Structure 1
Amino acid sequence: MRVRAVLSAAVLTLACTAGALATALPASAVANGSDVPQGQFQFAAKLTMTNIPKPDGTHYDSACSGALIAPQWIITAGHCFHDVNRKPISGPVPYDTSVLLGTTVQSDGLGVTRKVTDVLQAGTNDISLAKLDSPVTGIAPLTVQRDAPTVGQSVTLAGWGSLSSTDAKPSTKMQQGSMAVSQVDATTAGVIGVQPSNTTSACLYDSGAPYFVPNETSGQLVSVESDGPDCPHSTPETTARADVIADWIAANAV
């Protein structure tokens, strides 16, 4: 099992640090998924991080996925924001992070962009809240499912992960997959692929991507992407449950 954002950072520096990574990298993100039609899932966010420091004094770029949970807040994986030793941190954003919402295709003139100013770590599980420099209007945020997920529950995954195993980079098109909850633990839930394939799965740059139940306005958030095996795969992906920190989200994402 590998934390998605840790791998994504390694991929972006692989070209200049050949041989530094001893194990194989996952193949793609929302592997064996499908394009999201324009106009859907406007709350789904692409986070782009730049100039992230490394212990040796060098820097790299990376990315995560996430979702609008309140007009000025994005929910994503806790490990997307960390110090130089990769320890998750709260406070002022540790490196420049931009957010794209309101579009399923990354292109000039499409969507809404914001900057992250501050980060809050849930601590209970691998979830963080990222505060935006100004509220987002015209996009309905996800609400939080307060009941525990159940085995067999259907959820949708939407993320901006890499589509190439040989040239790994964040996608310019949002991808989706139909998933099912396969296991429920104290603060996490296992999720497996259903459609388009049983090997539909999250991968590089999908850290923080939402697993949700769509509705007429937006959807109910069940969990967020945390980590998993090399993809594509048919085995469970580890996701961080939103219901166990619903009160914390409500108290802070205001």
Structure 2
Amino acid sequence: MSLTRPKAAAIGAALCAALGGALLPATTAQAVTGTAGADGAFTFTARLDIGSGDRACSGSLVDTQWVLTAASCFADSPDQSFTIRAGKPAKTTTATIGRTDLTTSAGQVRTVVELVPRTDRDLVLARLNKPVTGITPAKITSTAPTTGETLTVPGYGRTTNEWSPRKLHTGTFKVTAIQSPTIEIDGQNGASVCAGDTGAPTLRQTADGHELIGINSRSWQGGCFGQDPDETRTAAQNVRMDNLGSWVEDTVSAAPITDFNGDGVEDIAIADAKASVGGNAGAGLVRIVHGGGKGTAQIDQDLDWVPGGAESGDSFGAAMDTVDYNQDGYTDLVVAAPGEDLDGKADAGMADILYGGPDGLGSGTLKNTHLEQGSGTGALAGVASEAGDRMGEALAAGTTAGGRPWIVIGTPGEAIGDLAKAGVAYYVYGNTSFTLHQNLPTEVPGTAEAGDEFGASAAGDEHHFAIGAPGEAIGTENNSGTVALFRHTLDADGRPITIGGMDQDNAKVSGGAEADDEFGAALSMTAYRPTGATSADTSMLAVGSPGEGVTVDGKDQANAGRAVLIRINPDHT
């Protein structure tokens, strides 16, 4: 049997006519002919709008930040091939989830920022710019389909008498044939997969709810609005899902790659903060290696779209991190120049967000966001750059579990009152920023003292972040060091909440606080999923102590250094 892939809604009628007797890609149709779904049912079903009214498809939320649908929805010629490029979609795509009645404002709207297609099947996972909340994702079955099994298909495509229905519709189908990669189903009681239903879920009813057993790919579209009335076949072809659960799990649980040009291939940023630029020793630069053999790029302050200018000792690139700060699907580079002189103030320091684009950093409409004391908004705007602040000595960036991008900028040379180099850090999100230091009334561990250098290191993940103060004295042990811990939850003022701190006199940290250990001089953090847990809601923090003395073969080795690994549980124990 030869089915036609139902095309995207806006172009469906013409393609159906052109393809004649072939099974149509479901992208041409717009809703399952059948009955309107009950309000609040099948809320994990997504409507995808691709381009400026170019196409409409359906899909399924299978993770808080991922929708599963047909790759042919994004193909140039879906009737000929479902092959698409990984990475940012070529056309702006929005996903509406939980709005079963499109005349309402219910549900949530997200932008698709990344596509991860299968190469062997008409299937793609689409990453959303931020997680969907309050909607339970569809569960993918691990049980194979059986011939004659009754299934349900919800979708937003055409009905018998509507080109663009405003409600999610459902139809009943039976399995007629099973192959390794596909399932063939046939509509019951006049149900048919129509244009706009490409990517719609095919569901099995169980005692615990519905399970996702297939994704709609092709159909005859018999009875669909705008189709030849002589076409009465209601068969459809689905991508089989019971043997793809591990692929979905592996994809949605993987950390996003660094992808400055949005082509789905990982890129690398390499800093050389001591490099000379234009004859200026130590000006610093960052080299970008684009994956897939797409060449390299040099980023420095002599580029006209990068703030500042290359000067000796700027140390551009001394600290950097990556995050999709504007959530457009291109990775952005957060980079600091802690040795930057500002208004005659030596080593005041600054940082910038350099935005990705179709051809890499700086190639999009938005080039950069400049972060400097005394400019911008929030706490940064209320302070002045001073000599020796070294803003950007440490950087950390990421996205919270709730999908909010954040940046921590360490400024260890900042004075608090007359306490030289007590140090501060700035927590940046959206278009605002907040100051963090040890004299805040929010119980940041320790007390600000001269030389603490709070902000000399920083690290974080989606749940927590940490800031080091390697110059902190513990008791009478100078430069013993401490680490302050925070979560990304914001208090009533919008500042992240402190959850405590640690040093080597803490009972849960091995060793003891000693002079010049510099505990916290280096930090690294990552999310961790313990065995048996359903999500990676635990953080693992590595803390470096370069001045720690250790004993090797009975001999004391001064300043040998060490690192300890600390687990931060969801309850912050």
Q: Is the 8 A contact 2:6 2:221 kept in 1?
A: no
- Contact 1:158-1:211 at 8 Å conserved across structures: yes
Matches of 1:161 and 1:107 in 2, distance apart? Answer: 15
Deviation at 1:3, TM superposition (A): 1.3
SS across alignment from 2:222: coil
Aligned-pair distance for 1:213? 1.9
Picking from 87, 98, 105, the partner of 2:101 is 105
How far did residue 211 of structure 1 move?
0.3
**Normalised TM-score (structure 1):** 0.82
Whether the aligned pair in 2 keeps the contact of 1:200 and 1:234 (CA below 8 Å) is no
Q: Which residue of 1 aligns with 2:222?
A: 231
**Residue 77 in structure 1 maps to residue 78 in structure 2:** no
- Mapping for residues 30-179 of structure 1, pairs under 5 Å: 30-31=32-33, 33-51=34-52, 61-83=54-76, 87-163=83-159, 168=163, 170-179=164-173
Tell me the amino acid that sits aligned with residue 202 of structure 2: Y
Normalising by structure 2, we get a TM-score of 0.38
Counterpart in 2 of 1:240?
Answer: 239
1:82 Cα offset (Å): 2.4
Aligned residue for 2:246, secondary structure, equals helix
Deviations 1:67-120 (A, max 9, x none): 100100000011112247964222111111111111211024222111100001
- In structure 1, distance between residues paired with 2:248 and 2:140: 9
Larger Rg: 2
Gaps spanning 5+ residues in structure 1: where? 52-59
Q: Does 1:205 align with 2:196?
A: yes
Distance (whole Å) between structure 1 residues aligned to residue 181 and residue 65 of structure 2: 25
Query: What is the aligned length?
Result: 234
Q: Does structure 1 conserve the Cα–Cα contact (< 8 Å) formed by 2:43 and 2:135? A: yes
Relative distance call for 1:217 and 1:114 in structure 2 (3 A) is: farther
3-state SS in 1 of match to 2:7: helix
Q: Which residue of 2 aligns with 1:184?
A: 178
Higher RCO structure, 1 or 2 (CA under 8 Å, sep 6+)? 1
- Rounded to whole Å, the distance in 2 between the matches of 1:80 and 1:46 is 12
For residues 30 and 116 of structure 2, the distance between their equivalents in structure 1, rounded to whole angstroms, comes to 29
Change (3 A) 1:104 1:215: farther
Percentage identity across aligned positions? 28
Measure, in 2, the Cα distance between the counterparts of 1:22 and 1:234. 15
Tell me by how many angstroms 1:50 deviates.
Answer: 1.4
Deviation at 1:163, TM superposition (A): 2.9
Q: Contact conserved, 1:154 with 1:213, CA < 8 A, in 2?
A: yes
Gaps of 5+ in 2: 224-231, 254-573
Contact 1:140 1:218 in 2 (8 A): no
Deviation track 1:139-184 (CA, whole Å, cap 9, x = no partner) reads 111111112211112211000002366x73x421100012111110
CA distance in 2, matches of 1:126, 1:231: 21
> Does structure 2 retain, via aligned residues, the 8 Å contact 1:225–1:238?
yes
For residues 148 and 22 of structure 1, what CA distance do their matches in structure 2 show? 32
Q: Distance in 1 between matches of 2:65 and 2:29?
A: 33
Partner secondary structure for residue 244 of structure 2: helix
Write the letter of the residue equivalent to 1:205: G
The within-5 A match list for 1:214-229 is 214-215=205-206, 219-229=210-220
Distance 1:50 1:185, change over 3 A: same
Tell me, in whole angstroms, the C-alpha distance in 1 between the residues paired with 2:98 and 2:241: 22
Q: Which amino acid letter does the alignment assign opposite residue 145 of structure 2?
A: P
User: What code does the residue aligned with 1:177 have?
Assistant: G
Task: Report if the CA contact (8 A) 1:152-1:180 is conserved.
Answer: yes
In 1: Cα distance, 2:43 partner to 2:215 partner = 16
Contact 2:30 2:197 in 1 (8 A): no
Contact preservation (8 Å) 1:81, 1:89: no
**1:242 counterpart letter in structure 2:** M
Moved over 4 A (4+): 20-28, 83-86, 215-218
Return the offset for 1:210: 0.2
Cα 1:93–1:150 change in 2 (3 A) is same
1:29 aligned partner = 31
Decide whether the 8 Å contact of 1:4 with 1:204 is kept in 2.
Answer: yes
Shift of 1:245: 1.8
Change (3 A) 1:63 1:218: farther
Contact 1:28–1:164, Cα closer than 8 Å, also in 2? no
**Alpha-carbon distance change, 41 to 142 in structure 1, aligned in 2, over 3 angstroms:** same
Which one-letter code corresponds to 1:237 in the other structure?
A: A
